[in-house]
Structure 1
Amino acid sequence: MRKILVVGAGQSGLQIALGLQSQGYEVTLMSNRTADEIRTGRVMSTQCMFHTALQHERDLQLNFWESQAPKIEGLGVSVAAPGSWAEGPAARAIDWLGRLDGYAQSVDQRVKMAGWMETFAQRGGQLVIHGAAVGDLDYFARTYDLVLVAAGKGELVQMFARDPERSPYSEPQRALAVSYVHGLGPRPEHPGTEGVRCNLVPGVGELFVMPCLTTSGRADILFWEGIPGGPLDVFNGVKDPAEHLSLTLELMERYVPWEYARATKVELTDAGGTLAGRYAPTVRNPIGRLPGGGLVLGVADVVVANDPITGQGSNSASKCAAAYLASIVERGDKPFDEEWMRATFDRYWDTAQHVTKWTNAMLAPPPEHILNLIGAAGELQPVADRFANGFNDPSDFENFFYDPEKTQAYLADVSGAGAA
């Protein structure tokens, strides 16, 4: 029986640990917090997961909350008319809703990670509550067949060198501010449809609104992404959750008044329902070398950390876990050597590279052909639907998004089909 250590109990680490456990591996999971500490702690992310990522959970029978979490059937885009907020509340230049082929869902990671961790322990897995340091891993690398590092923050990440060719940004591109709320009203334009809302405010930032399941039941997430140094970059140092929500709503009233109109009665889900921060999007070398010569393999956002502007973090973590799990099982009893580690990461990078390319493109000011595409989606439902489903499969953006000629040809084709 092969012994595997997974350090970090997030989406990817837990999914791998539970998957290996179900295949009969001897798995040790190391977390710096207990399940109860996670459940009663601060929110960790926004985690809207689309069909493919949700299917990986279903395949492992880990979709414990699927019947309770809101089913997100659409993805809407609104664009504020540039500069319209100078005199008063902003006006909308674009507003549309694309339909998803398979629904998305968001389950608060406090609910999911705590539940999965308890399941792992109940099924006989060895759960160690300890914040691992590099020195610990030096010892463990000699006692386990494979060590996976899935803890995306702290000193362990520094073992994995930044890949400058795949990391165009050295500084954070957005300041992030999240609030989990109860009491958000429906969007009057699309009653009865649960959707993620992407509100783009040119030159200022973005507001995402999404339904989720949290520790206190059905809720919504209000998520600002502000351009650093701009008018949304005001959450640094705000410790009081009430003040954080108040700032969130003030900014909504000015820049996205159509969303603010349904948020006038919201209140925070709990004292831990806010989060603020920023980080530079970074791709790292997947193999970490320990002082004693041992090797460890980085997982998910340890090695590919994208800005959350495209909502891909937990999707990528789920896809990484599925790819790594398959590679480990296929390896049989052969050694998990450096060549295998590199090939295992490359298998994940096949999908992750599309996420990174798309996310980095969305962080930059949009070129004219992208603005035309987003505008056309308001008139042509197939364009809105295709854009929405790109959140599930970002590789499709290669076919119609980046290259102005491909975009133009695609729009001409859809317009012609509509006219015919």
Structure 2
Amino acid sequence: MRKVLIVGAGQSGLQLALTLLEHDFEVTVMSARTPEEIRDGRVMSTQAQFEPALAHERNHGLNLWEEETTPFEGIGVSIAAPDGSRALDWVAKLDAPGRSVDQRVKMAGWLELFEERGGQLVIHGVTTADLDKLAGMYDLTVVAAGKGELVQLFDRDPARSPYTAPQRMLSVVYAHGVGPRPEHPDYTAVRFNIIPEAGELFMIPCLTTTGNCDILFFEGIPGGPLDVFGDRPDPDEHLRRTLELMRTYLPWEYERSRDAVMTDPGGSLIGGYTPVVRRPVGELPSGNVVLGMADVVVANDPITGQGSNNATHCAEMYLQEILAHDGPFDRAWMERTFERYWHYAQHVTDWTNAMLQPPPPHVLEIIGAASQNPVVARRFVNGFADPTDFQHWFMDPEKAASFLAEASVPAR
């Protein structure tokens, strides 16, 4: 029986651990926190998973909260005008609904499921020195902890990492009491609000520890008017400032959120990080090598909502590569395995990095056309489920022009 050590208990690490158990691997997961500590702690992320990622979980019996989670059936885009009105506003349905489950709920539940299914769980923070001693005891060691000391094992890849500083300052509140958008009261949607030269507000339906809620998620350009959380206010003050920003810049969202309350004392998060792609193989002082996965090696800004989707796809791809391999899990195998993931993730990275910049004329034309043409709107919103499609029309001005011309021809 082959032995695998996975350091980190997030979406990618636990998914890989649970799916390896299906194939009779001996799997150890090292987590810095117990399930109870995760469940009772502070929110760790925003997340919006789309159907291709959800299908992986469903196929492995990991969709434990699917029935109780409010699905989001569409994505809406609004652009704020200086006078507080909407310069543009539209919504389109996804081909299949998405869902968001608070990682406190999911990771705590998956850790418990991992133990129930026979995995070995070790509650212990891991240093580089610890890992150096442990790696030689396993056939494969995977680092899935995207923060902390172990990330330094993986060198930044400058050819794939255009940024050297955070491009957005992030502010997250999980809230109860947010009403529906009056334009579509019969179904829910992720709302993508753009405040030109300031940042964005995303509103995402989510299941948290206290039931279904909404995530109010500001992405502020550093130094701009949305970057007002640097003093790390307490949760109540955090919510107050969030609502004040909404009242000032996005009054249509404020009106349905004015009675919002925090879901729980841990329902807020503040931060910011530099988007980066790292080399996939880390070498320990002993000479043993370890494989990085998901946001250890590809950390994108959450502006396109791809973090948990990337993690899910990465875990599934790594699983297939592990199952198909008979030899040692050496450096060459690790690099090949990552390149298979990068074949997918590069398109996510290119699109996400582009969305962090002021939109070029052809992108403005696409977003404007989507407000009038449902064919354009449908393709744009479903790109969140399959970002590899954007290379074929969204990223290139000539391809965009060709698609818009084709989409404007009446169907016969």
Class of the TM-score when normalised by the shorter of the 2 chains: over 0.9
Listed one character per residue, the Cα deviations across residues 363-409 of structure 1 (whole Å, up to 9, x for unaligned) are 00000110010010000011111100000110111111111111111
Q: Residues 17-32 of structure 1: matches in 2 within 5 Å?
A: 17-32=17-32
2:322 matched residue in structure 1: 328
TM-score by length of 2: 0.99
Listed one character per residue, the Cα deviations across residues 151-191 of structure 1 (whole Å, up to 9, x for unaligned) are 00001000100000100000000000000000001100111
Q: Residues 262-411 of structure 1: matches in 2 within 5 Å?
A: 262-332=256-326, 334-411=327-404
Following the alignment from structure 2 to structure 1, what is the Cα–Cα distance between the partners of residues 350 and 159?
Answer: 12
1:45 matched residue in structure 2: 45
Following the alignment from structure 2 to structure 1, what is the Cα–Cα distance between the partners of residues 72 and 179?
Answer: 16
Following the alignment from structure 1 to structure 2, what is the Cα–Cα distance between the partners of residues 378 and 176?
Answer: 28
- The percent of aligned pairs where both chains have the same amino acid is 61
1:216 matched residue in structure 2: 210
1:61 matched residue in structure 2: 61
Listed one character per residue, the Cα deviations across residues 102-144 of structure 1 (whole Å, up to 9, x for unaligned) are 1100000000000000010112211000110001111111100
1:103 is aligned, of 85, 97, 106, to 97
Letter in 2 for 1:148: V
| RMSD of equivalent CA atoms | 0.8
| Counterpart contact for 1:98–1:386, Cα < 8 Å | no
Asked if 1:114 is matched to 2:104, the reply is no
Equivalent position SS for 1:254: helix
Letter in 2 for 1:253: R
Following the alignment from structure 1 to structure 2, what is the Cα–Cα distance between the partners of residues 301 and 289?
Answer: 18
Following the alignment from structure 1 to structure 2, what is the Cα–Cα distance between the partners of residues 321 and 402?
Answer: 27
Following the alignment from structure 1 to structure 2, what is the Cα–Cα distance between the partners of residues 151 and 251?
Answer: 33
Letter in 1 for 2:62: L
Equivalent position SS for 2:110: helix
State the number of aligned residues. 412
Letter in 2 for 1:390: G
1:241 matched residue in structure 2: 235
Please list every run of 5 or more consecutive structure 1 residues that lacks an aligned counterpart in the other structure.
none
Following the alignment from structure 2 to structure 1, what is the Cα–Cα distance between the partners of residues 112 and 60?
Answer: 16
2:12 matched residue in structure 1: 12
Following the alignment from structure 1 to structure 2, what is the Cα–Cα distance between the partners of residues 238 and 4?
Answer: 39
Q: State the 1:417 CA deviation.
A: 2.7
| Counterpart contact for 1:50–1:392, Cα < 8 Å | yes
Q: State the 1:80 CA deviation.
A: 1.0
Following the alignment from structure 1 to structure 2, what is the Cα–Cα distance between the partners of residues 317 and 336?
Answer: 21
Letter in 1 for 2:236: A
Following the alignment from structure 1 to structure 2, what is the Cα–Cα distance between the partners of residues 54 and 243?
Answer: 35
Following the alignment from structure 1 to structure 2, what is the Cα–Cα distance between the partners of residues 140 and 329?
Answer: 22
Letter in 1 for 2:237: E
Asked if 1:179 is matched to 2:139, the reply is no
Asked if 1:130 is matched to 2:142, the reply is no
TM-score by length of 1: 0.97
Letter in 1 for 2:3: K
2:74 matched residue in structure 1: 74
Please list every run of 5 or more consecutive structure 2 residues that lacks an aligned counterpart in the other structure.
none
Following the alignment from structure 1 to structure 2, what is the Cα–Cα distance between the partners of residues 410 and 330?
Answer: 39
Following the alignment from structure 2 to structure 1, what is the Cα–Cα distance between the partners of residues 258 and 136?
Answer: 57
Listed one character per residue, the Cα deviations across residues 222-251 of structure 1 (whole Å, up to 9, x for unaligned) are 000000000000111223100000000000
Following the alignment from structure 1 to structure 2, what is the Cα–Cα distance between the partners of residues 345 and 398?
Answer: 21
Following the alignment from structure 1 to structure 2, what is the Cα–Cα distance between the partners of residues 351 and 153?
Answer: 23
Following the alignment from structure 1 to structure 2, what is the Cα–Cα distance between the partners of residues 175 and 93?
Answer: 24
Equivalent position SS for 2:256: coil
Letter in 1 for 2:152: Q
Letter in 2 for 1:408: A
Letter in 1 for 2:342: W
Equivalent position SS for 1:128: strand
2:33 matched residue in structure 1: 33
Asked if 1:188 is matched to 2:182, the reply is yes
2:226 matched residue in structure 1: 232
